[in-house]
Structure 1
Amino acid sequence: MATPVLTRQTSPAAPAGGPRPARRRGLTVTPRAFYWMVVPAVALFALLHTVPVLIGVFYSFTDYAGFGSWDFVGLGNFIALLQDDRVLKAYGFTFGFAIVATVLTNLISLAIAVGLNAKIALQSTFRGIFFIPYVLAILVVGYVFQYFFANSLPVIASGIPVLRDNILTNPDWAWLAIVVLAVWQSCAFAIVLYLAGLQTIPAELYEASALDGARPWRQFRSITFPMISAFFTINMVLSLKGFLQTFDHVVALTNGGPGTSTESITLLIFRGGFQGGEFAYQSANAVIFVIVIMLVSFLQFRVLQRKEADF
């Protein structure tokens, strides 16, 4: 009867030119370099983001004015916010502005991207040109637009009653100037995203549809838009979220005026929290605003992704 030979199992050899991966009980041990890179980043993020957020949530349940002593008031700040006409007006302006700007940004950006995609030779050049507004400091650009709306436009469009005077001083139409600035600046990023999506569509689909007699509009409706619906979802969510948090555009053009007709939620939180002695009150406003943005973004994703499935 042959005697069995016992062999010792060894770990697989390390690849040539690289260190042998450390193993413990069959599991790969994470290199120490990973922790040296990740732990400082997580700690810095927690220090500069998470901790201030938790402090703000804590103060939202107090009557802290930003200085001096404070006492707990429970849900008093949140109840008062629901009865504050200025807060409700700011929410109304912010959502109205955000919806209009989001729709215009995506319509204009998609139209430009589709037209630019047909000009293959000029894509790289125009992509760089259209992206310039996104990298410019919005406050600087905003003050340029302010001069244009206040001084140049009344002369250029003197025959139009609404534009004959400085539109920024008109409480009924000042919001339109903010929309123009916001859309002009935001289209840059949206165009680049749509161009990236358009380049993923195989050219054979358009060639086959053209042979079947499909016109450009039918190609867009049946091929282009369904194929870039995921990019449309991302652009819509990012646009609406960004416009709901608008601050620089308002400060540069109207600073919330005339009166409070163009006062956004973020501007109201800044003014009341840091200049008006309402630190705790506006902290509660900020908590509500964060929850609102999260809910709106979640609903957008659910609705738009369901549309993607229908395509």
Structure 2
Amino acid sequence: MIFTVYPVISSFILSFQEVRGVEKTFVGLSNYTRLIHDPVFYKSLINTFQILIVQVPIMIFLAILIAVGLNSTLIKAKSLFRIAYFMPAITALVAASIVFMILLDEHFGLVNYLLSLIGLDHIPWLTTPFWAKISVILVMTWRWTGYNMVIFLAGLQNIPADLYEAASIDGAGKVKQFFMITLPQLKPVFIFTVVMSTIGTLQLFDEPFILTHGGPNSATMTITLYLYETGFKFFDFGYASAIAYVLVLITAVISWIQMKLVGDNE
């Protein structure tokens, strides 16, 4: 009640107020109408959706692929691989981001050094808009693929082996079994991971904050990063609260659409 319900109600009331020091003035819907004419808000919204559209499908695809591989009887030392893939999800994000800043440094980074060995030019990973987005996507994919892999692996282990045996008897190969048995049986897990990954990406803050500080030229400015700067850099808490509730609405609508598109009709 203290740490969840009260802040939710308080911030909702705050979104209708203008805060100056300790004084709060009721301003109605002005904070929300201000959003309509805010180009930085639209820029952060576009950036967030660009990252979402690219990163989530890649991450889900890799998670399914790795989970199927680790569920195979051909793989030995499965526990070791599971731990290795899951470790990024529990690694301190600040430490991981600093490592990636070193790896992706334009002049002295290991990645560009390896590219130079095969004759490729250095890539300005963190200093140009396009590559800055790619860098954020790489870090997010590295961090969360293993987390989703564990969820898919749990789903795979709950699929009855009888289904595969029956399919083999009927002459279905491994590829056909994957598309006709594995994917349909994983549908609830797939819905869960897609929705949760979408929500997580819409709340993206840590990676762009540490790696690029929202730059260059606001190319990696996400909604939550803009919310943070509005509230704790410019101390415009009323407007920041309005941004937060618009983000909640956007997240709810997208999650509902995904459930309708991917979920069962009933």
Place the TM-score, normalised by the shorter chain, in its bin. Answer: over 0.9
Q: Aligned residue for 2:51?
A: 97
Matches of 2:188 and 2:40 in 1, distance apart? 37
> Is this contact kept in 1: 2:204–2:222, CA < 8 A?
yes
Is 1:88 the counterpart of 2:42 in the alignment? yes
Is 1:239 the counterpart of 2:194 in the alignment? no
Is 1:116 the counterpart of 2:70 in the alignment? yes
SS at structure 2 position matched to 1:64: strand
Matches of 1:238 and 1:49 in 2, distance apart? 20
Count of matched residue pairs:
260
CA deviation profile, 1:170-213 (whole Å, cap 9, x unmatched): 11221001001001111111111111111111222222222322
Q: Aligned residue for 2:255?
A: 297
- Give the TM-score of the pair, scaled to structure 2: 0.93
Tell me by how many angstroms 1:165 deviates.
3.6
Tell me by how many angstroms 1:252 deviates.
1.9
Is 1:258 the counterpart of 2:213 in the alignment? no
Matches of 1:165 and 1:230 in 2, distance apart? 40
> Is this contact kept in 1: 2:16–2:29, CA < 8 A?
yes
Tell me by how many angstroms 1:122 deviates.
3.1
Is 1:160 the counterpart of 2:115 in the alignment? no
> Is this contact kept in 1: 2:124–2:131, CA < 8 A?
no
Q: Which amino acid aligns with 1:195?
A: L
Is 1:75 the counterpart of 2:33 in the alignment? no
Q: Aligned residue for 1:127?
A: 82
> Is this contact kept in 2: 1:64–1:71, CA < 8 A?
yes
Tell me by how many angstroms 1:121 deviates.
4.4
Is 1:47 the counterpart of 2:2 in the alignment? yes
**% identity of equivalent residues:** 33
> Is this contact kept in 2: 1:116–1:122, CA < 8 A?
no
Structure 2: where are the runs of 5+ without partners?
A: none
Is 1:207 the counterpart of 2:165 in the alignment? yes
Matches of 1:190 and 1:69 in 2, distance apart? 45
Question: Considering only CA atoms, is the larger Rg found in Structure 1 or Structure 2?
Answer: 1
- Give the TM-score of the pair, scaled to structure 1: 0.80
> Is this contact kept in 1: 2:208–2:220, CA < 8 A?
yes
Structure 1: where are the runs of 5+ without partners?
A: 1-45
Matches of 1:152 and 1:82 in 2, distance apart? 43
